[in-house]
């Protein structure tokens, strides 16, 4: 039973005191699903696990960081929170603001956030401001405003967000009993890769694990500033959650890559959609397109021969983070499949379509 949330569960590793009001929706404790189907498809001597963060209260990993960011904002006496968002941060911020009795303001790129995420922010009562600019422009404006006004910034440049999100690593290690060898993760604003790497390092220092995983980050090919070492003024990808051209935690993502001996690479929209469909049709897990970038990255990495010399007698342990739920973006799912056929309402017609 998850009646605690990540702050209660991991408070010894988090910057909280008895005075911190714990604003929670019982986030965390998400499933680590073994994907045998993927292992077979990849023909890899490995155990592949999917950390399904879509099972968090607002349907994405953001809740891990938001519980702490909003709790600390409340402790500091703030009355409102604000974020720029490609959708999930705004859904999470607005829900946790409700729990805290605070106002929420969210700035989103017009026309480029999934419908479910927009619905969430609106129904939670956030003031939603759509701008004719992308996420990077929104974040710049939000930084300026929160610098000048008594409103707490809850994007991942808020260090409490990273602190909360590092609990994802703790859960993986607690569930497996050890750290994985490889950690595949989508990269957008680069807060999550930063948080996971911090979590693993802290768990090692605490003596909970012996090894550290290699951090394998994946950006969308049309929005891959870290891979190409340049800002993307006009990032483009169907994975709108990671449509980011100038990530705030750029340097920290590079540090995670370099310290762990991992890599940050790109995957095309076609590769993302292919993995998104494989996860749904072959594994039974429905994540949002951006989340599938981790699995697309794994498939690409296997195909490139990267693991050829690394498959020892013992099976590699690989974890892919699925950052958000597929129901966030139903439009994309519907576009990827053929629509159901409508027939006259009789048994024969139905049986025919059933193939009997």
CB-nearer residue toward ligand F0G: 184 or 307: 184
Give CA angle at 256 (254, 257), nearest 5°: 65
Question: Which of 202-238 are b and which e, b meaning 16 or more Cβ less than 10 Å from the residue's Cβ?
Answer: bbbeeebbeebbbbbbbbbbbbbbbbeeeebeebebb
CB 141, min distance to ligand F0G, A? 14
Using CB under 6 A as the criterion, what x/- string covers residues 48-67 for binding ligand F0G? ------------x-------
Tokens of 266: 């790109």
CB 275, min distance to ligand F0G, A? 13
Stretch of residues binding ligand F0G (CB under 6 A), selected from 2-10, 81-89, 207-215, 254-262:
81-89
Interface residue with ligand F0G among 55, 167, 275, 291 (CB under 6 A) is 291
Stretch of residues binding ligand F0G (CB under 6 A), selected from 12-20, 28-36, 284-292, 304-312:
284-292
Give CA angle at 32 (31, 36), nearest 5°: 125
Beta-carbon count within 10 A of 150 CB: 10
Tokens of 304: 């490139």
CB 276, min distance to ligand F0G, A? 12
CB 93, min distance to ligand F0G, A? 9
The four Cα atoms 106, 112, 117, 122 give a dihedral, to 10 degrees, of: 50
167/170 Cα distance (integer angstroms): 5
263/301 Cα distance (integer angstroms): 10
158 part of the interface to ligand F0G, by CB under 6 A: no
126/132 Cα distance (integer angstroms): 19
Interface residue with ligand F0G among 89, 120, 167, 169 (CB under 6 A) is 89
303/307 Cα distance (integer angstroms): 9
87 part of the interface to ligand F0G, by CB under 6 A: yes
CB-nearer residue toward ligand F0G: 21 or 31: 31
CB 94, min distance to ligand F0G, A? 12
296/301 Cα distance (integer angstroms): 8
- Count the site residues for ligand F0G by CB under 6 A: 21
DSSP E strand boundaries for the chain: 32-34, 46-52, 80-84, 103-109, 127-131, 152-153, 182-186, 214-220, 263-267, 316-322
245 part of the interface to ligand F0G, by CB under 6 A: no
CB 356, min distance to ligand F0G, A? 40
CB 338, min distance to ligand F0G, A? 26
- The SS3 of residue 181 is coil
Instruction: Name, in order, each residue with C-beta under 8 angstroms of 205's C-beta and a sequence gap of 6 or more.
Output: none
258/215 Cα distance (integer angstroms): 9
CB-nearer residue toward ligand F0G: 213 or 307: 213
CB-nearer residue toward ligand F0G: 6 or 44: 6
290 part of the interface to ligand F0G, by CB under 6 A: yes
CB-nearer residue toward ligand F0G: 8 or 274: 274
Strand partners, 184: 216, 320
- Which residues inside 177-216 make contact with ligand F0G, applying CB under 6 A? 186-192
326 part of the interface to ligand F0G, by CB under 6 A: no
CB-nearer residue toward ligand F0G: 187 or 298: 187
Binding site for ligand F0G (CB under 6 A): 60, 85-89, 156, 186-192, 241-242, 288, 290-291, 323-324
């Amino acid at each position: 039973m998850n009646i605690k949330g990540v702050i209660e569960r991991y408070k010894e590793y988090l910057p909280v005191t008895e005075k911190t009001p714990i604003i929670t929706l019982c986030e965390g404790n998400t499933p680590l699903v073994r994907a045998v189907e993927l292992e077979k498809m990849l023909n890899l001597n490995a155990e592949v696990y999917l950390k399904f963060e879509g099972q968090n209260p607002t349907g994405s990993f953001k809740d891990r960081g938001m519980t702490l960011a909003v709790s600390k904002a409340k402790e500091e006496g703030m009355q409102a929170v604000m974020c720029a968002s490609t959708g999930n941060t705004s859904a999470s911020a607005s829900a946790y603001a409700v729990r805290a009795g605070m106002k929420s303001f969210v700035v989103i790129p017009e026309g480029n956030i999934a419908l479910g995420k927009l619905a969430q922010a609106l129904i939670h009562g956030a003031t939603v401001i759509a701008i004719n600019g992308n996420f990077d422009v929104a974040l710049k404006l939000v930084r300026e405003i929160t610098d000048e006004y008594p409103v707490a910034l809850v994007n991942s440049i808020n260090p409490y967000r990273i602190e909360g999100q590092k609990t994802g690593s703790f859960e993986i290690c607690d569930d497996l009993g050890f750290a994985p060898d490889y950690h595949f993760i989508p990269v957008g604003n680069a807060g999550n890769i930063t948080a996971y790497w911090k979590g693993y390092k802290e768990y090692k220092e605490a003596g909970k694990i012996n090894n550290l995983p290699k951090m394998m980050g994946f950006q969308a090919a049309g929005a891959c500033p870290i891979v190409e070492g340049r800002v993307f003024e006009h990032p483009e990808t169907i994975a709108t959650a990671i449509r980011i051209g100038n990530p705030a935690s750029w340097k920290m993502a590079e540090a995670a890559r370099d310290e762990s001996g991992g890599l940050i690479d790109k995957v095309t929209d076609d590769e993302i959609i292919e993995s998104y469909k494989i996860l749904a049709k072959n594994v039974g897990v429905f994540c949002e397109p951006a989340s599938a970038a981790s699995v697309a990255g794994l498939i690409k990495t296997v195909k490139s021969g990267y693991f050829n010399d690394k498959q020892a007698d013992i099976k590699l342990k690989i974890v892919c983070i699925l950052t958000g739920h597929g129901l966030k973006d139903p439009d994309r799912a519907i576009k990827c499949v053929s629509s159901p056929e409508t027939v006259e309402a009789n048994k024969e017609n139905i049986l025919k379509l059933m193939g009997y």
